[in-house]
Structure 1
């Protein structure tokens, strides 16, 4: 589980491909987004690190990424931010974005 203490190590230092979604239990769009993120986590297990972060439990981390509109989804490729998306995102959109990021990471790895 990603938290304030291990975020840099797990995402930045390991140059991870990741999708981190900031949510809150009291936020209706967040409650709608969570099952989508959980399904994507199963689909991309071992390929993309996908985590849900509760903004009330991880205030330092949510402040770091300015997660003011919930849910906020931050996408990383090789440990660097690619995009921050505010608000609810469809499963189709997030799947397309993840596939694009994975293709770009594979392309960069092939050149290295």
Structure 2
């Protein structure tokens, strides 16, 4: 089972900067079991549109079956960890 966390962000987004350290910690803890992708919505608008991202930060946790959980706004580590476990990480 492949588990992916997609982080939709932009360089000018203040709340995204607040989210970054939480994601960096998770990435260290789940290294090898979860794929982390940072997606700049300004540069990758097609991907942002595909996931219907309307505000950032938006975090999408998905596995081989599709989207497991979606978070909009700064999200605490515990909620993200729950979603990763639910996805099979």
TM-score w.r.t. the length of structure 1 is 0.71
1:20 correspondence with 2:10? no
8 Å contact kept, 2:58–2:71 = yes
Q: Does 1:53 align with 2:44?
A: no
Q: Which runs of 5+ in 1 are unaligned?
A: 1-14, 104-112
TM-score, structure 2 as length reference: 0.87
Structure number having the greater strand percentage: 2
**SS of match in other structure, 1:19:** strand
| Alignment match of 1:36 (pick from 22, 29, 46) | 22
**C-alpha contact (below 8 Å) 1:74/1:81 kept by paired residues:** yes
Shift of 1:46: 0.8
Equivalent positions of 1:1-112 (< 5 A) are 16-102=2-88
**Count of aligned pairs:** 89
**CA pair 57-79 structure 1, distance change in 2 beyond 3 A:** farther
Measure the CA separation in 1 of the matches of 2:65 and 2:36: 13
Task: Specify which structure has the bigger relative contact order, considering alpha-carbon pairs within 8 angstroms and separated by 6 or more residues.
Answer: 2
Q: Give the helix-richer structure, 1 or 2.
A: 1
Off by >2 Å, runs of 4+ in structure 1: none
Computing the radius of gyration over CA atoms, which structure comes out larger, 1 or 2? 1
